[in-house]
């Protein structure tokens, strides 16, 4: 990895810690994570309600003031650089964790704390320890451009960390858990590649996103993928960003996270050239694309039939959300009607491999083609986009209704019965 790249990455981590420290100074009861505050409003409201209870508010203020250095990411990451020995570092963390727990459990107000509040404090202590354990090799490696590998933690050091129990939606309200997710996934992904450091931002993002989908679920997965995009889309090629957004879109109820990721990465996803405003005329053989068999074909193959053409991409969440409706729409047609129409899905992905892998997982009925240029040639500036091509191969509706719109069924039936 280039020395400048590593330096930028390290400075980003350091500055994030400084920003969190400023936030904590402004509001000692806050989360210290402005990015998260734009997302999980339900958890933050729950946290706020717990901290409005006098005994809990007083305890939390006392607890965070007493151990503010222990929970300050910027300070702790700087301390890592001065402690090279892993065992010495972990012993210090274990001692701090025990002191935090003793203060908490022996506090005069302990018996008056609610179960939910106790769970929050437990998570604060637990995940702060694990965050600082797994961050040690990552932070130190990123600070030294001469290191080609991240060093491996002793396996026994991670014995107390159950990979099956790391996805905890409620723990997201604590900043140490969110930091843990970032560094744990970085460490696990590094371990999967024999601890070699990356030289390629694109590969780094796609690998980490894949590791995350194998290790996390629910809101923690959504948070991690969104933060991965939020932090690194400005230095990562568009195709890797699109693939990661696609993974995020596959999760349940991801709209809030998708909105943040897509807004943050909007500039990185912009095409270099504006697509033409007027669609070109088709040639005698129709509009060309690559088929799943690796051979080129065109819409002319379906002459004599109507075509309901779906422009999509693997990274387009709204496109993929329409696909079940498209399959349902197809199922509402009789066998006779289906002989008169083709449902054609054309991917505009830059990566043919991403298109093939996604189709294999989706198992969509219909015809499939791949052409990164076809949409732009036809003046398609955004997706999802649907076209209807008549039996002679001419575009009769360049902005047809979506499959989820009930009116599209009636429109197609009129064509098929004409």
pTM: 0.60
Average per-residue pLDDT for the chain: 84
State the CB neighbour count (10 A cutoff) for residue 12.
14
Helix (H) or strand (E) holding 96: helix 86-105
Instruction: Enumerate domains of the chain plus CATH numbers.
Output: 3-199 (no CATH), 288-417 (3.40.30.10)
Is residue 235 within 8 Å of 185, Cβ to Cβ? no
pLDDT at residue 9 greater than cutoff 80? no
Of 336, 340, 36, 354, nearest to 169 by C-alpha is 36
For residues 70 and 65, what is the distance between their CA atoms, to the nearest angstrom? 10
- Residues 83-100, mean pLDDT to the nearest whole number: 96
- The burial of 416, by beta-carbon neighbours within 10 Å (0-12 exposed, 13-18 middle, 19 or more buried), is given as middle
DSSP string for 240-306: HHHHHHHHHHTSTT-HHHHHHHHHHTHHHH--SSPPPSSPPPPBTTB-EEE-TTS-EEEGGGGTTSE
The pLDDT-based confidence of 39 (bands split at 50, 70, 90) is low
Per-residue pLDDT tens for 348-378?
A: 887 888 899 889 888 899 999 999 888 877 7
- Residues 133-142, mean pLDDT to the nearest whole number: 93
For residues 158 and 184, what is the distance between their CA atoms, to the nearest angstrom? 11
pLDDT at residue 34 greater than cutoff 50? yes
Q: How far is CA 243 from CA 35, 39, 155, 375, 393, in A?
A: 22, 21, 32, 19, 32
The pLDDT-based confidence of 248 (bands split at 50, 70, 90) is very high
Ranked by mean pLDDT, which of 123-132, 392-401, 407-416 comes out on top? 123-132
% of the chain beyond a pLDDT of 70: 86
> Who's near 373: CB < 8 A, 6+ residues apart?
none
pLDDT at residue 337 greater than cutoff 70? yes
Q: What was the pLDDT predicted at 306?
A: 95
Phi, psi at 33, each rounded to 5°: -145, 85
- Residues 76-100, mean pLDDT to the nearest whole number: 95
Q: What was the pLDDT predicted at 129?
A: 98
């Amino acid at each position: 990895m280039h020395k400048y790249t590593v330096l930028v990455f390290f400075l980003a981590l350091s500055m994030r810690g400084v920003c969190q420290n400023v936030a904590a100074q402004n509001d000692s009861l806050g989360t210290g994570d402005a990015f998260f505050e734009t997302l999980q409003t339900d958890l933050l409201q729950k946290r706020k309600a717990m901290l409005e209870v006098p005994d809990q508010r007083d305890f939390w203020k006392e607890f965070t003031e007493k151990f503010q250095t222990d929970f300050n990411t910027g300070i702790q990451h700087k301390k890592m650089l001065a402690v090279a020995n892993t065992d010495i570092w972990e012993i210090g963390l274990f001692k701090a964790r025990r002191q935090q727990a003793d203060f908490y459990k022996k506090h005069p107000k302990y018996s008056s704390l609610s179960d939910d509040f106790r769970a929050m404090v437990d998570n604060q202590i637990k995940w702060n320890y694990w965050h600082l354990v797994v961050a040690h090799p990552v932070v130190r490696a990123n600070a030294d451009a001469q290191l080609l590998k991240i060093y491996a933690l002793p396996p026994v050091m991670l014995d107390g960390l159950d990979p099956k129990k790391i996805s905890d939606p409620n723990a997201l309200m604590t900043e140490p858990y969110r930091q843990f997710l970032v560094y744990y996934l970085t460490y696990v992904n590094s371990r999967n590649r024999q601890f070699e450091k990356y030289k390629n931002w694109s590969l780094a993002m796609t690998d980490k996103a894949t590791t995350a989908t194998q290790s996390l679920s629910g809101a923690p997965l959504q948070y991690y993928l969104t933060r991965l995009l939020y932090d690194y889309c400005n230095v990562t090629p568009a195709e890797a960003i699109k693939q990661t957004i696609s993974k995020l879109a596959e999760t349940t109820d991801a709209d809030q996270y998708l909105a943040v990721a897509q807004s943050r990465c909007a500039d990185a996803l912009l095409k270099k050239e504006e697509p033409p405003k007027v669609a070109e005329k088709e040639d005698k053989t129709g509009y060309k694309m690559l088929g799943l068999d690796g051979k080129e074909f065109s819409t002319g193959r379906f002459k004599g039939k109507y075509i309901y053409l779906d422009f999509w991409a693997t990274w387009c969440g709204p496109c993929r959300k329409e696909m079940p409706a498209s399959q349902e729409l197809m199922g509402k047609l009789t066998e006779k009607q289906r002989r008169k129409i083709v449902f054609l899905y054309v991917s505009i992905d830059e990566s043919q491999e991403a298109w093939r892998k996604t189709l294999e997982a989706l198992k969509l009925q219909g015809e499939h083609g791949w052409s990164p240029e076809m949409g732009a040639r036809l003046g398609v500036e955004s997706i999802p986009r649907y076209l209807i091509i008549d039996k002679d191969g001419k575009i009769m509706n360049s902005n047809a209704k979506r499959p989820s719109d009930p009116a599209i069924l009636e429109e197609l039936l009129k064509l098929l019965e004409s």
